[in-house]
Amino acid sequence: MNWMKVKNILIVLFLVLNSVLGIYYYSKQYQTYTLSSDRMEQVQTILQHYQVEMKGKIVTTFYPMQKLRVELAKYEDKILLQGFFQDKQMVPYIESQGRRYIQGEEELWISRQEGDMVGSIIYTNPQGRGKVKSLSLEDVKEVGDEFVKAITGEKGKFRLDRTERTEEGYHLEYREMYKGWLLFNSTIEVEVTKKGVVWGQRLRYQPMGFQGEKKEIYAPDEVLLNFLHFIREKDPLGRICIVQMDLGYDTGTKDSTRDIYGIAVPYYRIVLDTGEVYYVNGYKNEIRQ
């Protein structure tokens, strides 16, 4: 008997069996943690019955998720000064909770928490920063993107998350992405007019890695039905229109600067056409605004 030939055949059979088992496991996981078209239709029907319109896409997958360790980002003032003023040696005005740098009409306020940890960073310039070609969203975003690089020291990966037209231009909101997940607490807000960026604020919670075992989260249809009950208790007869639903991470606190270190957990975000935003804890299905 040719034992080498038998060995090769057994190896091939083993690899084929592993592939089949892998496909079976993936298929079973996909079916378990993916909304079927029937479930999506059912929740749409219930929402419509209670006069809640769903214009945004429903989150369709809800695989078990880990918690995420976060902490306030660390920055040296000189890195931010170089980005804004091209001057690392500026002398700050020392205040009780941070430092203020002023050059002409430009101001940069940096909140200090502990060592190099930075809370809020606020930039103001009535004359505007950056050249805006036009007030089209594309041109405004170009200026906003450059501002994000300056106020983050090019740390972290931020993407434009929400936009709102104002009387003089646009209000832009950027949020950090970490391994494909939105971090709702890690935000940059920017006001852009025809003059350029006139105001901006950043609060960055730096992701430090996932923690613990993956835990199951509530399914999107369960979250929507719970939200329906909540919103109709709050507003029994008013018009309700959901324009956005997504899944990411959040620390669950309104005043994020109070916590230097924290644990972010999965949260669904539900946005109404009025601009109201609601966050739903994925582990507990608890709602906060």
Predicted confidence (pLDDT) per residue in 6-49, tens digit: 455 545 555 544 554 444 344 445 468 999 989 999 999 999 99
Average pLDDT over residues 239-256: 84
pLDDT value of residue 214: 96
Q: At CB < 8 A and 24+ separation, what contacts does 15-18 make?
A: none
Q: How confident is the model at residue 285 (pLDDT cuts 50, 70, 90)?
A: very high
Structurally, what CATH architecture does the domain formed by 34-68+210-288 represent?
Beta Barrel (2.40)
Q: At CB < 8 A and 24+ separation, what contacts does 29-34 make?
A: 29/63, 33/61, 33/62, 33/63, 33/64, 34/60, 34/61, 34/62
Of 82-96, 159-173, 217-231, 252-266, least confident by mean pLDDT is 252-266
Of 15-24, 104-113, 143-152, 269-278, least confident by mean pLDDT is 15-24
In the chain, what is the greatest distance between 2 CA atoms, to the nearest angstrom?
89
Q: At CB < 8 A and 24+ separation, what contacts does 131-136 make?
A: 131/196, 132/169, 132/192, 132/193, 132/194, 132/195, 132/196, 135/169, 135/170, 135/193, 135/194
Average pLDDT over residues 232-239: 89
Q: How confident is the model at residue 145 (pLDDT cuts 50, 70, 90)?
A: very high
- Tens of pLDDT, residue by residue over 65-118, are 999 999 888 888 888 888 888 877 788 888 777 889 999 999 999 887 666 677
Q: Please say if the pLDDT value at position 208 is more than 70.
A: yes
Please state, for a pLDDT cut of 70, what percent of the chain lies above it: 85
Query: What span, in angstroms and rounded, lies between the C-alpha atoms of 191 and 170?
Result: 6
Q: Where are the domains of the chain?
A: 34-68+210-288, 74-203
Q: Please say if the pLDDT value at position 255 is more than 70.
A: no
Q: How confident is the model at residue 278 (pLDDT cuts 50, 70, 90)?
A: very high
CA-CA-CA-CA torsion sign (69, 72, 78, 80): positive
249: closest CA among 221, 218, 275, 210? 210
Of 36-50, 112-126, 215-229, 237-251, least confident by mean pLDDT is 112-126
| Mean pLDDT of all residues belonging to the chain | 86
